[in-house]
Structure 1
Amino acid sequence: MRYALYFAPPKDDALTVAATHWLGRDAFSNAVFPAEAAGEFSAGDIEAMIEDPRRYGFHATLKAPFELAASVRENELLDAMEDFAKATRPFDIPKLVLGQLGPFFALVPEEEQPQLQAFAAATVKAFEPFRAALSPADIARRKPEGLSETQREHLLRWGYPYVMDEFRFHMTLTGPVAADRQPAVRALLEDRFAAFTDRPLPISGLALFVEESRGAPFTVHTWLPLGAA
């Protein structure tokens, strides 16, 4: 069993509904939706495009997947999550846009937000006592030889390379897309998510996702509102 602390909009939020239908799976209910042809893409094209992010569910990573340390139990993690959520005030990302992280498409902030960076860093630190140390195999899977020195330090200290100064908020919508298809994918996603881009995104909750076994779909175990949300 692995756990992860993610940002996700509430279950019935319009963005959640749109994203889960795009990805073909609802992480709250584990309901699966068949891929459908769209634009110049066949259902098979879409299926291949969403295969990786579908398993993880619609989210933005805060504390990457981890196994529980031997000294703690799930109920202690849940108690800490409740305390953390109550103590953290909700806020908005002023403007959400469709962006790219290399060949991947994701919903991202138009500009880096100090409050968002601080929220992510606080989440990583608050739940570090619950994380079991990475195994050598887990470290190897991250291909540390391809990481920067700072990223390798984060991997060993926090269990994930893209935290603190390396954190970039993103809600992944595709796996890697070939360069020649990226313009058409961008046009498709801009149309599909037009109701949610170029406007604020409320950061109003914290979600605990679980992976029952390695390679299984991640599902929402608990979603809690932040502060006075």
Structure 2
Amino acid sequence: MSTPRYAIYYTPAADSALWRFGSAVLGYDAVTGAEVPALVPPGCDTDRWPDLTEEPRRYGFHATLKAPFELATGRSEGQLRAFTHNYAAGLERVELTGLSVTALGSFVALTPSTESPALQRFAFALVQAFEPFRAPLSEADMARRLKHPLTPAQRAYLEAYGYPYVGDAFRFHMTLTGSLPIEHGPSTRNALADAYAQAVPAGPAGPVAIDRIALFRQESRDSHFRLLDSFPLA
């Protein structure tokens, strides 16, 4: 029997242009759990687009704050929801100057247009606060993480928090594609940047507020993540 996994994400309001854009690019709405018509950027192959977005589509449009985890022994979904509600009520929103379409290695994502130390502090505090709810990584999950080269600091974060990209290794990003062939990376990034500027009126110059945190659930490892609830910050 599969064990559900949970994650704490940032997701914009479901009625926002940003949410509609990200969900359309991925072809999946994590609020409804339904596939949606894909927004294929001009110049990109319509037939190949579902394959290029397959990996991030499973997670829904989001920025990871607390990476997916199984519940620790003695913890329940109800306790997690209650804690998330109370934790969010004590947080102050973080203002970003904007989001830009960026190539991060082999994939494309939305990232903050300027660095935000406040966001770094916000994210690491959240990782630590939710740690009592996280079950230790299984041997299979640990082995999967160790397939990718990690620095000593990232290895230490993995062992402490079940995810290597936290603390000073954290980079806020909202993934738009999976791994792309090298020859398609720049053109796909440019096409997505154009589509983003058209779909989100303010574009990269428009401020974005981290004004809520979202609790997501994945029923089994082969299913999509769904939004359980979104909690506004104080």
Smaller-chain TM-score bracket: over 0.9
Q: Please give the alpha-carbon distance, in whole angstroms, between the structure 1 residues aligned to 2:75 and 2:217.
A: 16
Alignment of 1:56-205 (within 5 A): 56-143=59-146, 146-194=149-197, 195=200, 196-205=203-212
TM-score (norm. length: structure 1): 0.95
Are the structure 2 counterparts of residues 219 and 145 from structure 1 closer, same or farther at C-alpha, using a change threshold of 3 Å? closer
CA distance in 1, matches of 2:152, 2:146: 12
- Please, which runs of 5 or more residues in structure 1 have no aligned partner? none
- Aligned residue pairs total 227
TM normalised by structure 2 equals 0.93
TM-aligned CA deviation for residue 103 of structure 1: 1.0
| Distance across 2 between alignment mates of 1:185 and 1:145 | 24
Partner of 1:209: 216
CA distance in 1, matches of 2:144, 2:32: 29
* Cα distance in 1, alignment partners of residues 158 and 176 from structure 2: 24
Structure 1 residue runs of 4 or more that deviate by more than 6 Å after TM superposition: none
113 and 208 in structure 1: CA distance in 2 versus 1, 3 angstrom threshold: same
After superposition, the CA RMSD in angstroms is 1.4
- Whether the 8 Å CA contact 2:99–2:204 is kept in 1: the answer is yes
C-alpha distance in structure 1 between counterparts of 2:148 and 2:97, whole Å: 36
Query: Shift in Å at residue 206 of structure 1?
Result: 0.4
Letter in 2 for 1:202: A
- After TM superposition, list the pairs within 5 Å mapping 1:3-22 onto structure 2: 3-22=6-25
Measured after TM superposition, the shift of residue 183 of structure 1 is 2.4
- Secondary structure (helix, strand or coil) at the match of 2:124 reads helix
CA displacement 1:99-140 (0-9 Å, x = unmatched): 121011000012321110011011101100000011111100
Bigger shift: 27-36 or 87-96? 27-36
Residues 226 and 36 (structure 1 numbering): CA distance in 2 closer, same or farther, change over 3 Å?
closer
Of 219, 222, 228, the match for 2:229: 222
Measure how far apart 1:63 and its partner are: 0.3
2:113–2:204 contact (8 Å) kept in structure 1: no
Matched position secondary structure for 1:4: strand
CA distance in 1, matches of 2:111, 2:39: 25
Percent of residue pairs bearing the same amino acid type: 44
Q: CA deviation at 1:143?
A: 1.8
In structure 2, distance between residues paired with 1:38 and 1:108: 18
Does the Cα contact within 8 Å between 1:209 and 1:220 map onto a contact in 2?
yes
Q: Which structure 2 segments of 5+ residues have no match?
A: none
Taking a change above 3 Å as real, the CA distance of residues 83 and 179 of structure 1, as seen in their structure-2 partners, is: same
Q: For 2:224, give the aligned amino acid.
A: P
Cα deviations by residue, 1:66-90 (Å, 9 ceiling, x for unpaired): 0000121111111110111000011
- Residue 32 of structure 1 is matched in structure 2 by 35
* 1:175-218 deviation digits (Å, cap 9, x = unpaired): 11122112221221011111332221111100001100012101
Change over 3 Å in CA distance of 1:199–1:36 after alignment to 2: closer
